[in-house]
Amino acid sequence: MVTTLCCPQDDNPLSYDRLNGEWAQWFRTAQRFEHKVPAQDRGDIRHSIILELAMARARDGDKPFSEAMMCRVASCVVALYWRKQYRLTNGLDCGSCSQKQRQKCRSEDLYRQCQKAIKIESLSKPITDNEGNVTELGDTIADDKAIDVGAWLDARTFLLSCPNRLLQIAHKMRNGDTLGKTDRQYLWRFRKREQNTLLAM
């Protein structure tokens, strides 16, 4: 009696272990280059490299497709990825400038002084005003619906009916003290209630 042993089939139909021939070779090439991008994008860049290799192979037909050519295609896909990332964060890249300007930037190392690049600032970036007060950049954006806390302090009629907790928060803000989480939540709820009252008028 003859028994045959077979390897168990991979349960995952999308597993790369099922690739064979050139596809398996393209996968191995992609694996060599995928570490050049952030971890969250490695699956995408792997697929992009494999797809670009398949398209390059289809264009070339029966011509020899050496390992050096595959590495060149993979490195080009990675370079395009970083160019796209640079465009997303800076607005422009060096491909937007003339060749003469690119040569000047390269020879004089002017990349950090690029006038065309868009600089993105974080809204949580701390900034200091003329009086030395430190606040986050996002807090300086004008809000048409915001209630002026300073006006609250000047309005005596408002202060007479104002909760003590809100007065304490207003004094903290005037003194430049940092508000705790509960104070910020209380102030936000009170502002929201007052805005709704104003909008209903």
Q: What average pLDDT does this structure show over 128-142?
A: 77
The verdict on 160 and 109 lying in the same domain is no
The verdict on 31 and 108 lying in the same domain is yes
**CB-count burial class (<10 Å; 0-12, 13-18, 19+) for 46:** buried
Q: Are 52 and 33 in contact (CB under 8 A)?
A: no
The verdict on 109 and 151 lying in the same domain is no
Which of 138, 114, 140 shows the shortest CA–CA distance to 124?
A: 138
User: Of the candidates 98, 113, 128, which is a domain's last residue?
Assistant: 113
Q: Are 155 and 162 in contact (CB under 8 A)?
A: no
**Domain membership flag for residue 95:** yes
- Give the domain range for residue 162: 140-200
**Does residue 175 or residue 151 have the better pLDDT?**
175
**Does residue 165 or residue 199 have the better pLDDT?**
165
The verdict on 60 and 145 lying in the same domain is no
> Model confidence at 5, in pLDDT bands (50, 70, 90)?
very low
**Does residue 163 or residue 180 have the better pLDDT?**
180
**Does residue 10 or residue 88 have the better pLDDT?**
88
If you compute the radius of gyration of the chain from its CA atoms, what whole number of angstroms results? 30
The verdict on 57 and 102 lying in the same domain is yes
User: Of the candidates 65, 98, 113, which is a domain's last residue?
Assistant: 113
Give dist(CA 99, CA 107) in Å, integer: 12
**Domain membership flag for residue 8:** no
Q: What integer best gives the mean pLDDT of the chain?
A: 76
The verdict on 89 and 152 lying in the same domain is no
Please determine, for residue 173, whether its predicted confidence score (pLDDT) is greater than 50: yes
**Domain membership flag for residue 47:** yes
Q: Say how many domains are in the chain.
A: 2
What pTM, to 2 d.p., does this model score?
A: 0.45
- Residues 136, 142, 147, 152: is their CA dihedral positive or negative? positive
Which of 37, 42, 34, 21 shows the shortest CA–CA distance to 71?
A: 34
Q: Are 53 and 78 in contact (CB under 8 A)?
A: no
Please determine, for residue 105, whether its predicted confidence score (pLDDT) is greater than 70: yes
Q: What is the pLDDT of residue 137?
A: 75
The verdict on 35 and 104 lying in the same domain is yes
Strand ranges, E, within 124-183: 126-128, 134-136
Q: What average pLDDT does this structure show over 57-80?
A: 86
**Domain membership flag for residue 128:** no
